[in-house]
Each structure stands twice: as structure tokens, then as C-alpha cells.
Amino acid sequence: MSTMTKVFVVLTAVLAIAVSCLFIAAAAQWDNWKALAEDYQELRDGAISKAQNVEFAMQAALTLKDQEIRDIQRTLADTQKNRQELADDLARATSDLAKARNEALAFEAGRTKLQEILGVTTGELKALQKQNQNLLGQNIDLQTRNSRLNSRVLDLTTNVTILTDQVRNIQEKLYAAEQQAVELQQRLVAGRPVPAEPETPGAVPVALPVKGPIEGEIVQVEGNYASISVGETSGVVPGMVFMVYREGGGYLADLVIDRVRPKESGGKLSTLVKGEVQKGDSVRYPVME
């Protein structure tokens, strides 16, 4: 065998050994790579699962965040609405305050004006009070004069009533005398005897008082003078004191008789206790049976 062949065989053997080593190394490296690939695949699957879990968690967190954001947005909208309402209320309050200030200024001006008017009115009132006092004094003076005049008129009315009653009494006596004269003439013509005249010239026969109480009523009242419905024929004489009373009302006054006619008499009222004596009130003499 030649040297070249030996070298070729050696090279072939070395090359075979090298190739075998390469194949062995490649196979070992391939196994390593395969195991590494499997490890990487497992790591990738775990990372993918973890990433999915993280994604799911993130989606849930995002959902919660979105809900929170919506809640915050609603709260913000409500807050803005409330803020707007508060702003509107503040604007209204500011307007009302300005209006109240204007009204207060107007009220103060009105109060000042009223105080001025009150001062003027107070002065006028004092002047009117002074005039009123003067008028009251004049009124009191006039009332005093009027009272005196009323008393004078009452006295004059009483005197006129008394004089009228006296004239009426004289007229009745004159009429009675005329009737008596006519009767005397008739007796003279008929030839009958004439009754004797009273011994005292000018005397008028007076009827004797009747037995029992004398009762009548008021027929006329003028001031403190009154006339009653009973007279000489009932036994009434001057000086008698009749009790004036009202049915159901009790005692009213006393009536002192000072003039008498056949069917009527009159006198002054005294001791008035209840109201005024009126026409139709009852009279009685004596006061007690």
C-alpha cells in the first residue's frame, strides 16, 4: 500500500471520525435544541396563559374603571348641575338683595318724608288742640248759658202753664156763673124761689172730700209741672201730695197740687227717682191707705 493510499485512508478515517463526531454533536445539539424548544414552547404557553389572564384581569379592571368613570361622569354632571343651580340661586339671591337694598333705601326715604309730615302734622295737631281747648271753654260757657236759659224757659213755661190754668179756671167759673145766672133768670120767669147766696161775698162752695183714696193719671207734662185727670169733684184741694207711679215700673215722683179745677188739677213734680214722668202714668192720694 502506498503512502498516498495510507494517507487517504487515514484522512478518510479521520474525516469519518470527524463526520461522526459532527453527526453526534449535531444529534446532541438537536436534542438540546429540541428540549430547549420544548422548554421555550412551555414558557411561551405559560406566558400566553399568563398574558391572557393578565388581559382578562385588565379587561375586568378596565370594565370597573369604565363603570367608575361613568359614575364619576354622572357625579360630575350632577355636581355641575348643582353648581349651576347654586349659581342661579346665588344670582337670584344677589338680585333679591339688590332689590331689598333698593326697597330699604326707598323705605328710609319714605320714613324721612313721613317724619317731616309727622312733624308738620304734630304742629297742626297742637294748634288744633289749642283751638279745641278754646272751643271747649266756649262750649262750657255756652252750655252754662244754655242751662241758665233752659231754667229760665222752664220757669217761664211753668208760670205760663199756671197762668193758663188760672185763666181756664176763671173761664170755667165765669161759665158756671153765667149758667147760674141763666138758671136764676129761668127761675124768676117761672116764679120759683131763688136759693140764698153764700154769706161771704165772692166765696165759691167747695165740695167735701170723698171717702177713700183718690186715683187718676197724668194728662199733661211740661217741664216739672204736670196735670192730672182728677179735680174738685174727686175731693182734690191745693196742698195735696200725690204719688206718681208707673204700672210695673214702681214709684216715680211726688206731685204737689197748687191749682184745682172741677175735673182736673195740676202741680209741681218733686223727688224724681226714675227717668221722666210721662203722660199716662198713674197718681194716687194718699200714698198709703
Tens digits of per-residue pLDDT, 122-137? 889 898 888 888 888 7
Q: Is residue 189 part of a domain?
A: no
CA 17 to chain CA centroid, nearest Å: 136
Q: Is residue 256 part of a domain?
A: yes
Pairing relationship of beta strands 250-260 and 265-270 according to DSSP bridges: antiparallel
pLDDT at 251: 86
Please state, in angstroms and rounded to a whole number, the distance separating the CA atoms of residues 69 and 58.
15
Which residues constitute the domain of residue 145? 11-156
Domain count, the chain: 2
pLDDT in tens, 236-264: 999 999 999 988 878 889 999 999 999 99
Query: Domain holding 248: CATH number?
Result: 2.40.10.170
Please state, in angstroms and rounded to a whole number, the distance separating the CA atoms of residues 277 and 244.
8
Q: Are residues 151 and 226 in the same domain?
A: no
Q: Are 221 and 212 in contact (CB under 8 A)?
A: no
Q: Are residues 37 and 120 in the same domain?
A: yes
Q: Are residues 141 and 222 in the same domain?
A: no
- Which of 156, 177, 204 lies at the terminal end of a domain, its last residue? 156
Please state, in angstroms and rounded to a whole number, the distance separating the CA atoms of residues 130 and 272.
40
pLDDT at 279: 93
Q: Are residues 222 and 150 in the same domain?
A: no
pTM of the predicted model over 0.95: no
Q: Are residues 112 and 233 in the same domain?
A: no
Between the alpha carbon of residue 90 and those of residues 28, 102, 244, the distances in Å are 87, 18, 88
